[in-house]
Amino acid sequence: DFLGQQSHHPVKTVQEQLLRELKSIWPVCTMNEDFPELVSCLPETPEACDSTLTHSDVYWIKPTDTYIFDQSENDCESMDDQQSFTGSYALRPSLLLHVQEVTQNEDFSPGTLHAVSGLVFQRVPISPSRSPAFHQLLLVGTFPAESHPIQCFQDCLESLLSSYGISFEEMQTGIEQQVWMNSKMLSKFGRITYLPSFSSALDEGLQLIAVLINLDHLATLIFGISDWRLLWSADPRFLKHFELNSLGPFSPFSLYPPSYLHDISFWMEPESYDELDFHALVREASCGAVKNTPTHGLTYHQALGLQNQLRRLLPLRLQITL
């Protein structure tokens, strides 16, 4: 879990650092509600919540041949027959789908940023900078219109992130005003937007502002990670790097580490020495990574009656570092 409580993942580090900086300007309330990643919605709902989404950007899931878990297929009705189903299921394409739930929360108050984060899924062409599943941060708050909240957020984020090659682009469509966050690798990976459809229910003079950021892409920019797929790496060295140096730049791991020569030397009694036992011991200690152990030297101790062997460990493959 990238964003788990005990996680040292760079995505969580970026989120925590960003929220810490924002707290120095606005009150920030982190919401721990577990919003579902599988949502039930009408085909037009995602686009209504997020005008940048199209129907083809969403992973739609149609519930066909779905049965109650504790019944066999023969003695139960299809779920489609048990309930009238007028919409579709989809993997959550944007956290903007939860804006209404955030604003209806009992802790929601004007002037405070309410933070929600989690996985979102979008049907996009995969590249080293663009992924079909990523962690998104949503910040929602209501602010007086005369304080120009969008400009305030832009100035704040620009001062924090411009050194990482992030630029900001203003755009206005009708009454919908927004500022896009762009990088050289990925355009429009984040935005600051005014939500007029929700603001109509607020007190006069207040605007509902939302900030959306692709945390995965932001982490790759801040830590110099060349490909988002490294964020999902099972290599224990990846997370270990960030446990030891949470804010330092990432040093890529080579697929072909330099080869090293390893020699071992040991004394033994010639009468009791068994070559097969020696090879079994080497195989166990190296987890099968040693191909051969040629002898590079023999020494005999006359007084003790012992023989010293110098053996070289040859790896099974050059990529393996013993």
Q: Using one digit for the tens of pLDDT, what is the confidence trace for 35-65?
A: 999 988 777 777 767 777 888 888 888 766 5
Measured torsion, CA atoms of residues 9, 245, 187, 185, in degrees rounded to the nearest 10: -120
Cα–Cα distance measured from residue 4 to residue 133, given in angstroms and rounded to the nearest whole number:
17
Instruction: Give 73's contacts (C-beta < 8 A, 6+ positions apart).
Output: 67
Question: In 24-167, which ranges are continuous DSSP H helix?
Answer: 45-49, 79-82, 99-103, 149-161
Verify that 163 and 113 share a domain, yes or no.
yes
> Average of pLDDT values for 252-258?
64
pTM of the model: 0.71
Q: Where are the beta strands (DSSP E) in 195-302?
A: 206-214, 262-268, 290-292, 295-301
Range of the domain at 219: 10-244
Q: Comparing 318 with 110, which gets the higher pLDDT?
A: 110
Verify that 131 and 273 share a domain, yes or no.
no
Verify that 266 and 240 share a domain, yes or no.
no
Q: What is the pLDDT of residue 237?
A: 81
Verify that 266 and 235 share a domain, yes or no.
no
Given 212, 244, 276, which residue is the final one in a domain? 244
Verify that 136 and 267 share a domain, yes or no.
no
Query: Given pLDDT bands bounded at 50, 70 and 90, which one contains residue 86?
Result: very low
The answer to whether residue 153 scores a pLDDT higher than 80 is yes
Residue 269 sits in a domain whose CATH number is: 3.30.70.380
Query: 135 in helix, strand or coil?
Result: strand
What are the two backbone dihedrals, phi and then psi, of residue 22, each rounded to the nearest 5 degrees? -65, -30
Q: What is the pLDDT of residue 7?
A: 84
Residue 3 lies in a domain: no
The answer to whether residue 78 scores a pLDDT higher than 80 is no
Verify that 43 and 142 share a domain, yes or no.
yes
Verify that 225 and 79 share a domain, yes or no.
yes
pLDDT in tens, 275-309: 889 988 988 888 888 888 899 889 988 888 899 99
Number of domains in the chain: 2
Percentage above 90 pLDDT, the chain:
41
The answer to whether residue 232 scores a pLDDT higher than 70 is yes
Q: What is the pLDDT of residue 260?
A: 66
Verify that 206 and 301 share a domain, yes or no.
no
Residue 240 lies in a domain: yes
